[in-house]
Amino acid sequence: MNVLSDQLLNMERHDSIFESAVRALPLPVCAAFGDADGVRPVAFAGSGRILGTRDSDKVAASFPNSVRASGNTVLASAGVNRKVPRDRRVAVMFSGGPAAGGHNVVCGLRRALGPNNTLLGVRPGPKGLIRGDLFEITEADTQRVINTGGFDFLGTDRTKIKTDAQFDLVRQTCVRHGLDAIVVIGGDDSNTNAATLAESLFRNVKADGSGVQVIGVPKTIDGDLQIGDLLPISFGFDTATKIYSEMVGNILQDTRSSLKYWHFIKLMGRSASHVTLEVALQTKPAVTLISEEVAEKKQSLAFIVDQIAQAVAVRAGKGIGHGVVLIPEGLIEFIPEMSALITELNEALARHATEFAAVVDAEKAAFVEDTLTPANARLLSSLPAYVVRMLLAERDSHGNLQVSLIPTERLLVDMVKARLGVIDDRIRFAAHCHFLGYEGRCGAPTLFDAAYTYNLGLTAGSLVLDGRTGYMATVTDLDRGGVPRALPLTGLLNIERRHGKDEFVIEKALVRMDSPAMQYLLSRRAAWAGDDLFCSPGPRQLWGQVARQMPISVALNSGAASLEFRIG
- Residue 126 to residue 162: CA distance in whole angstroms: 11
**In b/e form, how buried is each residue of 297-309, taking b as 16+ CB within 10 angstroms?**
eebebeebbbbbb
For the CB of residue 157, give the shortest distance to ligand FBP in the complex, in Å.
9
The residues binding ligand FBP (CB under 6 A) are: 96-97, 99, 158, 187, 220-222, 268-270, 329, 403-404, 441
Provide the β-strand partners of residue 94: 185
Distance CA 402, CA 398 (A): 11
- Name which of 270, 294, 290, 271 is nearest 279 in CA terms: 290
Contacts of 232 (CB under 8 A, 6+ apart): 226, 476, 478, 554, 557, 558
Q: Which is nearer to ligand FBP, 39 or 100 (CB)?
A: 100
Q: Catalytic pick from 180, 189, 222, 479?
A: 222
Spatial separation of the C-alpha atoms in residues 233 and 280, rounded to whole Å = 17
Residue 185 or 316 having the CB closest to ligand FBP? 185
Residues 6+ apart with CB under 8 A from 310: 423
CB 151 within 8 A of CB 181: no
| DSSP structure class, residue 117 | S
CA distance 387 to 369: 14
Tell me whether residue 221 or residue 511 sits nearer to ligand FBP (CB atom).
Answer: 221
**Does 15 qualify as catalytic in the annotation?**
no
- Burial per residue of 25-62, b for 16 or more beta-carbon CB atoms within 10 angstroms, e otherwise: bebbbbebbeeeeebbbbbbeebeeebebebbeebbeb
The distance of closest approach from Cβ of residue 478 to ligand FBP in the complex, given in angstroms and rounded to an integer, is 20
CB of 398 to ligand FBP, least distance (A): 9
Half-sphere exposure of 22 (CA within 13 A, CB side): 25
Could you tell me if 99 and 234 are in contact, meaning their C-beta atoms sit under 8 angstroms apart?
A: yes
Task: In angstroms, give the least distance from the CB of 384 to ligand FBP.
Answer: 21
Whether the CB-CB separation of 70 and 470 falls below 8 Å is answered with: yes
| Closest CB 498 distance from ligand FBP, rounded Å | 15
**Residue nearest ligand FBP (C-beta atom):** 96
Helical H runs in 297-330? Answer: 301-317
State the catalytic residues.
222
